[in-house]
Amino acid sequence: MTAVCRKASPKDVDSLYLMIKGYAERGIMLPRSRDVLERQIDLFVVAEVDGNVVGCGSLCQLGNDLVEVRSLGISEGHKGQGIGSLLLDKLVEEARELQIPKIMALTYEVSFFEKNGFVIVSKEIFPEKVWTDCVHCSKQSCCDEIAVLKVLSE
Ligand SMILES: CC(C)(COP(=O)(O)OP(=O)(O)OC[C@H]1O[C@@H](n2cnc3c(N)ncnc32)[C@H](O)[C@@H]1OP(=O)(O)O)[C@@H](O)C(=O)NCCC(=O)NCCS
């Protein structure tokens, strides 16, 4: 059972919508509408096993030198098999290709990111994030997500 990572295409919108909705209902991810997914499909990567989408992730550019990992998730039954790391590697590779030197995430899955070379940092070092997205979030004053960062080049 080998996983293949690839760029998402418009035919993946339904799978992505359902996968992200499942996590959003558990408060793990922000929801994405089908409409938004259709418009932003180029930002997504997916992992496939036997032709079925079992994982996804996306990159959001926050500034000239920073991208954020978003919507990274692996479906139940496929976790712990290295597929999340494969997707994260692909997103890191994309950031490098875009010559963006820093990649960050806000997450509850700190150990996973640490195993993939990220370090814990203060959210406050990302004013691009705090003053664009976080200010609109209902959890702003009680955010329990941890910021993690990987520096790709100085
Ligand atoms: C976090 C997530 C994407 C990891 O995907 P995955 O395919 O299970 O991860 P991998 O199998 O590539 O794991 C890589 C390593 O991290 C470890 N790891 C994975 N999830 C972990 C967790 N929750 N806590 C601690 N370690 C974890 C694995 O044991 C593995 O270590 P190893 O290589 O020493 O065995 C997946 O668990 C998930 O979908 N979580 C829910 C959604 C979520 O919170 N996403 C993050 C949003 S930013």
- pLDDT tens, 55-70? 999 999 998 899 999 9
> How many whole angstroms separate alpha carbon 41 and alpha carbon 23?
18
DSSP 26: T
> How many whole angstroms separate alpha carbon 133 and alpha carbon 62?
10
In the prediction, which pLDDT does 43 show? 96
**Residue range 75-92: average pLDDT?**
96
* Residue 8 Cα to chain centre, angstroms: 13
Alpha carbon of 112 to ligand 1 centroid (Å): 5
With a pLDDT cut of 90, the percent of the chain lying above it is 77
Joined together, the tokens standing for residue 124 give 């406050």
Alpha carbon of 54 to ligand 1 centroid (Å): 14
In the prediction, which pLDDT does 16 show? 97
Is the Cβ atom of 47 under 6 angstroms away from ligand 1? Answer: no
Asked whether residue 49 carries a pLDDT value surpassing 70, the answer given is yes
Ligand 1 atom at shortest distance from the alpha carbon of 86: 12
**Residue range 99-126: average pLDDT?**
95
In the prediction, which pLDDT does 154 show? 72
Is the Cβ atom of 103 under 6 angstroms away from ligand 1? Answer: no
CA 95, 145, 30, 124: dihedral to nearest 10 degrees? -60
Domains and CATH numbers, the chain: 3-151 (3.40.630.30)
In the prediction, which pLDDT does 137 show? 74
In the prediction, which pLDDT does 59 show? 96
> How many whole angstroms separate alpha carbon 90 and alpha carbon 57?
9
Region of poorest pLDDT, from 12-26, 82-96, 128-142: 128-142
Which protein residue has the closest C-alpha to ligand 1 atom 16? 112
Asked whether residue 115 carries a pLDDT value surpassing 90, the answer given is yes
- pLDDT tens, 88-109? 999 999 999 999 999 999 999 9
